[in-house]
Amino acid sequence: MITEKEINILLVDDHKLVIDGLSSLLHDDTRIRVRGVFTSGLEALAFIGENKSQQLIDIVISDLRMTTGVSGLQFALQLRSISPETKVIILSMSESPDDVRAAIRMGVSGYISKSQDVRDIRKAIHEVMRDSSRTYLSQEILRLFIDLSSPQHPDEIRQLTNRELEILKLIASEHTTSEIADQLFISDATVDTHRRNIIQKLGVKSIVGLTNFAIRHGLV
């Protein structure tokens, strides 16, 4: 009987609560082994360099923007010279097309939104290991590119920020304020502020109006 190879990963995010939570959630996958969690990209680079002869890290899941050390893209660039075989998946709150394109140009192996379920993160890990010839993009990221490029969307949608568009979709999918806040790692008050801004920009009067608008324009 052939045993499937374990996937050794590191988690890098300057919010320890995020990486500790993700590490715990990934524990259920018997193939994935979290070999370290770091709040600094520089610490992760040092760990990989020191342990490369003993154990190859297959994938690093890194935040895009970190307040300490290096950014996710700088991390990916420096990692090439230390361990070119190691792949990088960006896990970020940003769904800006510019950020995604910059990550792709940097040669990362995947880009996932933090709004994704842990099952989607597991899928990204396995897909990147299975096929390293392409960049894995989560469905939310792919859908955003499609939505922004669609000529059918009115000016009201085009004036929404990426975060507002994301929250509009979640509202229309019947997520509560608390659920949206948990998925996006923001506060309930921030969700409420975004919702008020969306209502004002779209010229509707209520949550029902937001939902009807989203459905009418194919956002859900």
**Predicted confidence (pLDDT) per residue in 180-194, tens digit:** 888 888 899 999 999
C-beta pairs of 212-219 under 8 Å, 24+ apart in sequence: 213/156, 213/168, 213/172, 214/168, 214/169, 214/171, 214/172, 215/172, 217/152, 217/153, 217/154, 217/157, 218/150, 218/152, 219/147, 219/157, 219/165, 219/168, 219/169, 219/172
- d(Cα 191, Cα 177) in Å, to the nearest integer? 6
Domain borders along the chain are: 7-141, 150-215
% the chain with pLDDT above 70: 91
CATH superfamily ID and name for 7-141 = Response regulator (3.40.50.2300)
DSSP-assigned beta bridge partners for residue 111:
90, 137
Say if strands 59-62 and 7-12 run parallel, antiparallel, or are unpaired: parallel
In this model, does residue 18 exceed pLDDT 80? yes
- pLDDT tens digit string along 129-172? 987 777 888 777 776 665 555 545 566 777 888 888 889 988 88
Query: What pLDDT score was predicted for residue 195?
Result: 92
| Residues near 122 by beta carbon (within 8 Å), at least 6 away in sequence | 26, 29, 32
Mean pLDDT of the chain: 84
Query: What pLDDT score was predicted for residue 89?
Result: 95
Q: How confident is the model at residue 51 (pLDDT cuts 50, 70, 90)?
A: confident
- pLDDT tens digit string along 65-80? 887 778 898 999 999 8
Q: Roughly what angle, to the nearest 10 degrees, separates helices 162-172 and 177-184?
A: 140
- CATH number for 150-215 (one of 3.30.450.40, 1.20.58.760, 2.40.128.110, 1.10.10.10): it is 1.10.10.10
**Residue of higher predicted confidence among 54 and 178:** 178
Q: How confident is the model at residue 3 (pLDDT cuts 50, 70, 90)?
A: very low
Q: How confident is the model at residue 1 (pLDDT cuts 50, 70, 90)?
A: very low
| Mean pLDDT score, 39-51 | 91
- pLDDT tens digit string along 83-122? 999 999 999 988 887 888 888 888 899 999 888 888 888 9
Report the candidate in 100, 90, 99 with the shortest Cα–Cα distance to residue 124. 90
Task: Please say whether the beta carbons of 188 and 177 come within 8 A.
Answer: yes
